[in-house]
Structure 1
Amino acid sequence: MTIFSHKPSGEETAQFAGEGPVRAALATRDWSDSPLGPPARWPAELVTVVNLMLNSRFPMFLAWGPELALLYNDGYAGILGNKHPAALGQRFDVVWAEIWHIVAPIAIDAMAGRSSYYEDLPLTVLRHGEPERASFTFSYSPIASHDGSIGGMYCAVVETTAHVETRHVQAFQLHLSDRLRPITSPDDIIQVASEALGRMTGVERVLYAEVDDERGSFSVRRDWMADEAPSLAGDTGPLASLGQGVVEALRAGRTVIVNDVGSDPLTEGAAAGYLDVEVQAIVVIPLVKSNHLLAVLAMHSAIPRKWTVTEIQMARETAERTWSAVESAHAQDELREANRRKDEFLAMLAHELRNPLAPISAAAELMELAPMNAERVRQTSQVIGRQVRHMTGLVDDLLDVSRVTRGQVTINKLPQDLKNVVTNAVEQVRPMIQARSHHLTLELPPQAAQVLGDENRLVQVLTNLLNNAAKYTPEGGHIKLHMHTDASDVVITVSDNGIGIPAELQPRVFDLFAQAERTSDRSQGGLGLGLALVKSLVGLHGGSVTCASEGTGKGSCFTVRLPRFEPLPQVRERRRHPRGEVGGSNHRIMVVDDNEDAATMLGMLLEASGHEVQVEHRSPEALALAAEMQPGVCILDIGLPDMDGYELARQLRRQPGMAGALLIAVTGYGQESDRRKALDAGFDHHMVKPVDAPRLLRIVAERSQAPA
């Protein structure tokens, strides 16, 4: 135990028993400059109160004499911060000069013999070198001297800053939620949240900026500012102008807290930029997703400021709620837009399906009205065929989009020369180009342009781009396909001088169902699926596709980049397994389909091609018929009642004489899994309804001989 004792001759001894920083300071303090004088000369009542105070763990201080000289215990030393130990024995108004204008009336009351009590009183103190907002609960009480006069005052105090700040944060959260709840506009959400934070913290400015991390730039979208602060809304600049330390912290997802931009290492080299816009202290909250800095919410102070835990918590709360509300608003907008586009698509789909149905219906009615000569039958058949092919194309596009978007398309990657792909694509679109009298120019490199890809899908990509150009280019217009290679890619551009792409459509031209404004005649037709398929298929090949247009009436240009394939290895030709030489054309064919109209029409088609055809609509009857007629070809629907086409095929294969029959599955299901299932069941071919008649006839013709 340390004992401080000073006992001059004839004077009372002052003793302060115990240990601790304040007792040590009492022992070493030079009291010559203190209004109190040496402790050995202090009055007994003062020594008694000091000992009571020193032995308490509760923060306490007393101010004694006309000068209110300050004495305190270890608990209060923590509240003093950097003011301890110099404050020991000094005048109260000197020690707490920054708050004396607030506490002086309270001290005067105490020295007049009146006690007081204050709860959670907010004070801005300088105890760590910078202004700091803090809250205290305390009571001032007078201390009587031996003659009955008031010798000083006594204070028990507790700092309640953390408790008060927690209440403030909770109140701010409720306030912010109430303000944001009815708002749906992202810009209004940002504005209201920024204002709420700014007014609560008393800063000069709160701003929301969007960040392009790849380009290293930012753009201030909205800001709220106090009356005297200038707005920064609309300002853009490089991220580097914020300071290297600031940018690194934000990219790492850390909150940036700078009390003074002129002295903080985070803003080293960038302080002048902050001072130009009257900013000397900042708090910046980052929004980072997928390792990319997307946005920031920032508070600006025009003077150096020690940011409190509460202010930082409120800034984070505002940022999180703002981003959550903005994302929710964007999601609602996207849902509304998706719903609008869905309705638009359904309207387009209905229109596109009704168009071919009209001539098909008219052809059917015409055939019922009166006998027709051969020429009229031929014309009617051509009309029906064209319209069915158009409807089939629409359905195929829908299925393709469905498969691609669900990741169910398998790309068979083999070395391909894109020059051959271009040739095949041009052959497919040539009839449309010729019909519209377009001038098509091909610019191909002299050397091979090799990529690793699926030939059919690559042809589909270029066909869609060329069809798109032809569809939206007036008759007699110009279309150009240019190909070249660079260090890593093969680059293909398809350009035209057609109607162009409006600026507002360009950002979503590759989205599903995206089209320019529809006209009542829908002269271009289509469902807006082609470019979405192009983007997906190019992506599956590891490439990219972009579009450019100077606007309506100024044509468009689509650029496809695909990774080059080098060196070109020797590719073995895939083995083919022919069924035999083509023999006679008179085959026995059994058609099984529970749709009587479909079965009848398919049978008539095959009979017209010189084949002997029998039709059944149910599996049991088909098994009996097959045992009797021994067909060399069986064309089976899959969705049959009682027994589906897969099981029918298995049982047909087990019948005597049917092991070598040609089995063809005809179905409305065209997924790769459906094709594999058909082959596993014993089918030789899998065809999707409506049947491609020329292809079916070629498959049948490949039989080496008709069964006896």
Structure 2
Amino acid sequence: MPLLPEPMSPEESFLAGGGKIGAAMRVHDWSASPLGHPSAWPQSLRSVVSLLLNSKFPMFVAWGPELGFLYNDSYAEILGAKHPGALGSRFSDIWREIWPDIAPLIDAAMSGEAVYRENLPLLMNRKGYDEQTWFTFSYSPVWDESGHIGGMFCAVAETTDQVLAVRRQRFRIELEDALRGIDEPRVLAERAVTALGRHLGAQRVGYAKVQPDGETIAFDACFADGVQPLNGSFALAPFGAERLARQRAGQTEVCADVEATTEADPAAWRAIEARAFVSVPLVRDNHFIATFYVNFRESHRWTTQEVALIEDVATRTWAAIEQATAEIALRQSEARFRALLTTGAYSVFRMSPDWRELRELDGQGFLADTTEPSAGWLATYVHPDDQPQVSAAIREALATRSMFESEHRVRQADGSLGWTHARAVPMLDSAGRVTEWFGAASDATARKRGEEALRQLTAELEQRVAIAVEERQAALAQIHEMQKMETIGQLTGGVAHDFNNLLTPILGALDTLGRKLDGDERARRMTAGGLQAAERARTLIQRLLAFSRRQHLAPRPVDVPRLLSGFADMASRSIGPGIQLSVSCAAQLPPALVDPNQLELALLNLVVNARDAMPDGGELAIRVTEEEVPRKVGLGEGRFLRFAVTDTGVGMDAMTVKRAIDPFFTTKGVGRGTGLGLSSVHGLAAQSGGDFALDSQPGRGTTATLWLPVSGDVLSDPDHAANDAVIPRAAGETVLLVDDEDLVRGGTADMLADAGYTVVSVGSGFEALQKIHTGLVFDALVTDYAMPGMTGAELAREIRRLRPDTPTLMITGFATLTDREAGGLPRLAKPFRQAELVGTLADLLETDKGSAQLA
């Protein structure tokens, strides 16, 4: 059994748990810290420290005029070698190297302004060397008991790997585009080394060929920035025999600092101003042929991703160069082949000096033979559309007394249409006069047909490539948006859990206090105001969870006019002043059966889409009516509420309307939409038993219609029910309460005790099991889910093994907790009020008693 935490004073109880950092804080020497000893810390700081110590998300708080620094286990990983020395130190001393970058943001937070940055670049030194990093984080002011800002709180996620991965992928796409269509090997090499050098910020990147002797290397292409490019030839031996052996074996050579190794004379590297390098060899048939290298003038810590990228670029470059070289060889071979055909053509002909008469033609089966002079040869053999071209070539040959050459269509010996490539040279007498023209014509029919097929194929391939590039760019933009939404969702879900824990004792204490102030009307009003603010905070968290899709669908009867009265303000802030918003509901509307948070999110998606369709302003109307709908496709027969969101925007054509609800389809620019908004609205309608439709025409705006079923249950006022609900009194039952949060556990225990229960409170599952093993008798278990060491589900499973019929209630601040994770136990979401807690527990106990009587 795990050891219990060491004893501590009540003033230090907020440091309970918290993993390794919590343990370190309990034994830390605080004498040199500007924060002083934890026993003297204000309650506001203690609450924040308790929150971050028990969170799995990287967090820290900086407190006081000197910004003393406290953090949790997850943030310690970000600190690297700065931990544990950073604990309790001054913020500015810890992050001295990035202070100029973050100081203005800290000043803003300490002035009361919340700050959020996404993928902020920071040059850090946390492992003994400088490294470029990226972070997404928020700075929030924290008020102390006097109402002043006592410090700032930060939730942070390092996004360095994601940013670099996106950059590397973008570089690969750009490199592929840069190399496409280039058929000159040297140009290919120059473009590749230049692109990689600029991407890595290297001083030199090059491509070099090993000479036939195997001992020297000739530099073919070189990018240089701040150093001299490498030209000519170099001997390989001075750069290290062992390195050369590995290169010949096909191994990539990586060196962070040649001055720190003994494998070669550093003078050879100093001579070319290189201190760090990567060299990727090209080996063919066990022969070291070439190398692709990257140099830094100073020492450089190569990452695995950088080396992999260099190897990938080298492979792509070599493949492109080898293909270009092969294509050049092919073209040269084709030229020699054409020359051979010219001297040994299939058809041979003789023409008069002025080309008016064909004297003889030996067609060799390709063209019809003629042995008699023919003055009408042009019309007989050449296609009418090509005769002007042939006549122009004849005139040029006659004028220059040079070779006649033409490629044109001809009538073949079998009467079909074909192609020929004809050449003729003038035959001169001793006086230099042209006596005749002697020529040869080859059959080019198959080649021309192949070229036409190739042109068609090339056009088709170019079209396919263009479509593929466009789809890839759209996919990259969608991935970026999805990653951003996932990051926001993770951050929102984690923070919402912690704030639910904070709201639970606040809501419970105000609720219990309000029930005991019958004679003090002013105190009741103040308590009611606090309860209203806490309920609004709970609603706000539910909206955030709905936005981040971190909440289960929970349909219930919804008062639509009341929901829209609160939604109108949020919608107005979302659309801006240039759009006139009107909201109306038909009289005596029945309640809708839907998840209210998801309905708000669906309406917000429709409102934002309408706003984007009206860049120059316009009118936006939300109308809700009741309809008696006959059975139709997508919608069952019955009573429905019809939500119509109508704008005066640009509208959509029929094809766009048809695709609008497809996942990831969007007409917005890159980075402006995920293509999931209308898809999620359609999904809500389908899951709720309703339907969704779009009606739009270009230039005439759009109407989005959402049908939701009418609820058959009577609508209750949740605020009135919570305020005036009768609290069932306990009949002397004993409740075992388990929660690792002191404030939550204390507030929950007070609510149960006020209802007449005898409460035994413990801070962990291990303590609860100790109580049971020492003879504790209790009637019900109320346990938190997320606790260090042992979760509430694991505790409940162990207690049911010992006491199978124990009624158990799971309380949790996680909105995404599934039935499987909760072990199938009844759940009550934090924050809750006394009526909710006591009522749920009373129902469990009553059910248990009924089961016992039946047994």
The TM-score, its normalising length taken from structure 2, stands at 0.38
Structure having the higher Rg:
1
